[in-house]
Structures are given as C-alpha cells and as structure tokens.
Amino acid sequence: MDGRHGKHQEPARGSRLREAWRGLLPIGVATGVVLVVGGGFDVLERHQGAEKSRSAKAASDAEPTVPRFVVGVAADGSALVVRDSGTGADTGPPVAPPPGRRFTRVASGPDGTYVVASSGGGTVTFQRLALDDDGRVEELAPLPKAVAPGESADWSDLAVAADGRIAYVTYAGTRGTVAVLDPDTGARKAWPTTLRGRIGGLSWSGDTLAFAWTASGAPQIRTIDTAAPAGDLTSSKALATLPSGTSAAFLRPDGSTIVTGRVQDANLVLQAFTASGEPGQVIWKHPVEGDPELKALDPAENGALLALADDVHTPAGDPLPGKDLADAAW
C-alpha cells in the first residue's frame, strides 16, 4: 500500500505506466478490465464532497490492504496472466491452459492460493495456482477429483470456500446449474433449474452458498444450504430483491451486507444494501467512458473489492491497462 500510494503522488506516474506497458505482449481480444477498489463504507461516506485528491487518500488509508497481485484470465481463455496491482505490470510470462482446454474463471482460494477453472470436452476442471513472493507462477497443479459436467458460458461464476470446496455455474443454453465440488473426496452436489436466467455472485459463508439470480425481472440474492440434500435451484431461499439495473452483486460472508455494482450515467457505482435489500451507502463511484458492461464483482479474503468494467481503476491513481482480461481475482 505505501509504495503504491507513493507512486500515485508522484506527478510522472502516468508516463511511467505507459512505458511499463508498452512492451507487454497483448493476450486475447479486449473485452474486460480490472477495477480495484476497497471496502471502508463509512470512510467514503464521511468524506463525500471533499476535495478529490484528499477524499481518495482518506478513503484508501482506511480501506483493507490491497493485495499485491491480480490474476487474470485472458479474454479468449488462452492464458493466465499475473499483474502487479499497483503498477499494472506483468510479473512474468503468461501461462497456457491444459491441452484442449481454455481458462474460464479464477477465484481466490485458501492460504493465499487461487483456483482456476478450465473448460473443454463437455466438462469443467480445476487447477490450484500458487505464486511466489514476487508474483511469479510457482505451481499450477490439477485438482483431478473436482470435475463439473457441462459447459461454461461468458457469465459462469466460481467461488472457493474456506475449507476448499468449489462452487461453479455451468450452463445448458441459458439454463444454469450450480455445482458444489469437494476437491479432496470428489463428492459433487448439483442444483439445476429449467428456468432461464443468469446466475452469478457466488459467495460462501460456512455451508451456506449465496448467489445472485436474474431469472425474471430484477435480480435476487438467494441462498443454498449445501449441507442439505441437493435439489432444484428454485428450492433455494430468497433473501432480497435488488433494483433493476443491478449488473452484479454478492453477499458478504457475514451475511449482513449485499454489495452491488451498476453502470449509471457514465459512472461505475458500487453500493451497499442490507441483507433484506434496503439501500445503504455508496461505496465507490467512478467515471467511465461509454456504457461498459460490469462483468464481475468479487472481494479479496480481507474484503477489498475487485470489479471488471472498462478500464483498470484504483481509488487513487491513473487508470491501468487490462482490456485483454475476461476475469480476474486477487
């Protein structure tokens, strides 16, 4: 955090970033981007209306520590890339997927590792990714017992529980299935549905798996008790209905707060809601160009937020390149 803020305060940071990225190898087709933000709801609220630079500094000082590295999935699934979250520079060369497969999603896992999903041949399989202290790939090991039958879509989602269990959304056309996999035993449970709609925002709290479901009209936050027998996804419990226009949402692990994201009036807006759906404070509001799609909204283990929109932004600093990414986690 300190080094990152120091670079932000130096007037030449933007030019150095352009130089750092000039020699990078572009990967895939530009479809996504990484927006890095932190928590600190109350701090942002107290400093509304303050001078922009002062507000950004105060907010970032109180936010959770920003993880040092961002792991991204190339837009065409052809590689994983690891980037410094302060400078945007790649920490090493891109990593290719297993033969005949493409990477689809990535999520943070236990003990500072990541879990990466890859799709091919009608199945989704998973690998555990470990980085060294400099952000270079130390290991990409298969999890052979964790296999989800089905196909990935651009809006498939992935979440990893504290005990290592994996939740993933596969699709048959526009009909989704939420699968829960134990990579140690190979046990699998699945909650399919015949309803059309997008399923995302997977988040764990013990045995409870929360998700955002847009089956008809406004999105809902719903929960599954994964310790109970599996069934149709419609048997899940409705927690809250969110406003129309919400692009992404997830339930915080303590179950008290829903974090939502939307693009509105040329701004990317992250806002907190209560667990019952009552609107709360605006966490983050940042100008964006055009009308970008908000593709993902994910927290780090310490609660710091990462969202994919249309440029790489931080609470204070120049935009960072990232248009070659389809998904990212830290």
pLDDT in tens, 230-273: 999 999 999 999 988 898 899 998 889 999 998 888 888 889 99
Confidence category of residue 138, pLDDT binned at 50, 70, 90:
very high
Tell me how crowded residue 255 is: count the other CB atoms within 10 A of its CB. Answer: 15
The whole-number pLDDT of residue 312 equals 57
The position carrying tokens 């226009």 is: 245
Across 189-199, average pLDDT: 94
Under the phi-then-psi rule, with left for phi > 0, alpha for psi from -120 to 50, and beta for the rest, what region is 307? beta
Q: Which of 59-63, 64-68, 325-329 has the lowest mean pLDDT?
A: 59-63
Tell which residue, 198, 165, 201, has the closest CA to residue 180: 165
Tell me: pLDDT of 117 over 70.
yes
Under the phi-then-psi rule, with left for phi > 0, alpha for psi from -120 to 50, and beta for the rest, what region is 12? alpha
Confidence category of residue 316, pLDDT binned at 50, 70, 90:
low
Across 146-170, average pLDDT: 95
The position carrying tokens 């970033």 is: 17
Across 282-303, average pLDDT: 82
The whole-number pLDDT of residue 195 equals 92
The whole-number pLDDT of residue 297 equals 82
Tell me how crowded residue 19 is: count the other CB atoms within 10 A of its CB. Answer: 10
Q: Are 224 and 273 in contact (CB under 8 A)?
A: no
The continuous run of DSSP H or E covering 259 comes out as: strand 257-264
Confidence category of residue 318, pLDDT binned at 50, 70, 90:
low
The whole-number pLDDT of residue 303 equals 81
Sign of the CA dihedral 181, 66, 290, 50? positive
Confidence category of residue 61, pLDDT binned at 50, 70, 90:
very low
Tell me: pLDDT of 72 over 60.
yes
The whole-number pLDDT of residue 273 equals 95
CA distance 296 to 278: 22
DSSP 297: E
Angle between the N-to-C axes of helices 13-22 and 2-9, in degrees from 0 to 180, rounded to the nearest 10: 110
Tell me how crowded residue 54 is: count the other CB atoms within 10 A of its CB. Answer: 10
Q: Which of 27-31, 96-100, 176-180 has the lowest mean pLDDT?
A: 27-31
Q: Domains in the chain, start-ordered, CATH in brackets?
A: 2-22+33-329 (2.120.10.30)
Sign of the CA dihedral 9, 14, 19, 23? positive
Q: Which of 10-24, 114-128, 178-192, 287-301 has the lowest mean pLDDT?
A: 10-24
Q: Which of 109-118, 164-173, 237-246, 311-320 has the lowest mean pLDDT?
A: 311-320
The widest CA-to-CA distance across the chain, in whole angstroms, is 58
CA distance 66 to 38: 7
pLDDT per position as a tens digit, 167-192: 999 999 889 999 999 999 999 999 99
Which token pair is 314?
Answer: 């931080």
| Burial state string for 81-96 with b = 16 or more CB within 10 A and e = fewer than 16 | bbbbbbbbbbbeebbe
Average pLDDT, the chain: 80
